[in-house]
Amino acid sequence: MSLPPYPQKLSPEDAAHFLRRTAYGATDAQIRALVGKDAHVVAREALKFDARTAPDNPFDPSTGATPGAMVQLTRAAWLFELMYSPQPLREKLALTWSNHFVIGTDKVKNHPALAAYLGLLRRHAVAPSFERFTLEIAQTPAMLRYLDNDKNKKGRPNENFARELMELFTLGIGAPGRPNYSEQDVKEAARALTGWSFVGGRGNPKNSYLEPVEASFNPGQHDDGPKTYLGHSGNLSFEDVICLSTTHPQTAVFVSRKLHRAFVADTPDEGAVQGSAETFRRTNGNIGVVLEELLSSSVFYAPQHRASIIRGPVEYIVGAVRTLGQPRLEVRQLLNLAQTAGRMGQLLLQPDTVGGWDGGREWINDSTLLTRMQVAAALTLGNAAPRLDAPPGDLALFGSEKNPVQAALQGLNPRQRVYLALVSPEFQLA
């Protein structure tokens, strides 16, 4: 059955919880603006996206003098968008999908390819069709290059993309002893995916990193023979493989579990995951409907799911800035913070593996905690720290007005108090 709705009007703690999960954090005023509203209305409004971006983004990746500089500017531009976008949930979803449909700048060093990939993550953040989303992502030059489908040719199939399509993007591996697909499925899918590559942006990245690129299909390199994939036989094409993969019953479970990990708990309740999977199947993979139901559900607001997600490095940095009221940071600070996120284990557009960042407890160790303390100090105590015209209150910092940490911080000046709140165990959780 689908997820039951949250029956109550939002309390201050409910509103704080919603914004910590969907906007990385918020000011006390932004939190109180949601108090007393219906959970479904709040979720629906938060999921209404348009093409607006954060104004006055100081970073233009196309001005990078080298491929490496272009990539650094791309990361900084995205971090700026995460911090200052008027649509924070869209950016959180783009980051979530980047950890699902993974590419990496170790292989993709072309600005138009990266820009198209990021644009697609935003446009399909609440995709009405997961099948269409997957197809368009699969046919981006960034994905074709990253998973080697540009080398997948008739008579010489490359199985990399076919395998990851099933294992990481759609079905998932399956339970021990009960795999969701076979090695023969991988081989047959690879044959069906032959012939798709891209034009432009080839050769030495030093000379091609700004060149326009576009996906291309070469019929002469496509294996048009009969194939059998996931139990279906015929002269299967690229589009057929995507359709059969995304509409497989296990895909609904796999994708729903990813969304629950992003918004509900590091270790989701499998019964609740099945509820979202049912909605996924019923709506033919409408991500917007699945999310609207999830973010207005009793599961989302359940006490055991409060403060149950460890903030990743990007979420920690962005959450701190949004909780502080989005003070404007200097260009050098933003560039440094993008690199600092990488030192803490989350370099934008470069997950650890094609499987993405593991997250959860993997984010936390002695070194990363020390770096978080340094970030908090730079934002609150350092000489270049932004002004705190209206220091955040307990609701914004802790998600509650009755947190036991609050008493220990009484009597400190505002900057000291905010610094200690940002390094507290409570702020490491969302």
Same domain? 373 vs 404: yes
Helix (H, G, I), strand (E, B) or coil at 429: strand
Same domain? 73 vs 186: yes
Same domain? 232 vs 127: yes
Q: Is residue 51 part of a domain?
A: no
What does the alpha-carbon distance between residue 82 and residue 322 come to, in Å, rounded to a whole number?
9
Please state the domain count of the chain: 3
Same domain? 16 vs 125: no
Q: How far is CA 349 from the centre of its chain?
A: 10
Same domain? 147 vs 186: yes
Same domain? 133 vs 218: yes
What does the alpha-carbon distance between residue 191 and residue 225 come to, in Å, rounded to a whole number?
9
Q: Is residue 331 part of a domain?
A: yes
Residue 86: the pLDDT is 97
Q: How would DSSP label each residue in 65-84? A: SSHHHHHHHHHHHHHHHHHH
Same domain? 227 vs 259: no
H-helix or E-strand containing 228? strand 227-229
Same domain? 368 vs 228: no
- How much helix, strand and coil, in percent to the nearest 5, is found in the chain? 55, 5, 40
CB 24 within 8 A of CB 322: yes
Last residue of a domain, one of 222, 246, 270: 246
Q: Is residue 258 part of a domain?
A: yes
Residue 409: the pLDDT is 76
Last residue of a domain, one of 228, 246, 264: 246
- State how far the alpha carbon of 400 is from the alpha carbons of 34, 140, 426, 427, in Å: 15, 44, 10, 11
Helix (H, G, I), strand (E, B) or coil at 409: coil
Per-residue tens of pLDDT for the chain, all 430 residues = 689 999 999 999 999 999 999 999 999 999 999 999 999 999 999 999 999 999 999 999 999 999 999 999 999 999 999 999 999 999 999 999 999 999 999 999 999 999 999 999 999 999 999 999 999 999 999 999 999 999 999 999 999 999 999 999 999 999 899 999 999 999 999 999 999 999 999 888 888 999 999 999 999 999 999 999 999 999 999 999 999 999 999 999 999 999 999 999 999 999 999 999 999 999 999 999 999 999 999 999 999 999 999 999 999 999 999 999 999 999 999 999 999 999 999 999 999 999 999 999 999 999 999 999 999 999 999 888 998 878 899 999 999 987 777 677 777 888 999 999 999 999 999 9
The two beta strands, 214-217 and 174-175, are unpaired
Same domain? 238 vs 143: yes
Same domain? 286 vs 340: no
Same domain? 226 vs 111: yes
What does the alpha-carbon distance between residue 279 and residue 256 come to, in Å, rounded to a whole number?
9
Same domain? 101 vs 171: yes
What does the alpha-carbon distance between residue 186 and residue 173 come to, in Å, rounded to a whole number?
12
Q: Is residue 202 part of a domain?
A: yes
Q: Is residue 132 part of a domain?
A: yes
Q: Is residue 2 part of a domain?
A: no
Residue 352 lies in domain: 313-428
Q: Is residue 53 part of a domain?
A: no
Contact partners, residue 146, CB within 8 Å, separation at least 6? 102, 103, 104, 107, 108, 354
Residue 1: the pLDDT is 66
Q: Is residue 116 part of a domain?
A: yes
Residue 136: the pLDDT is 99
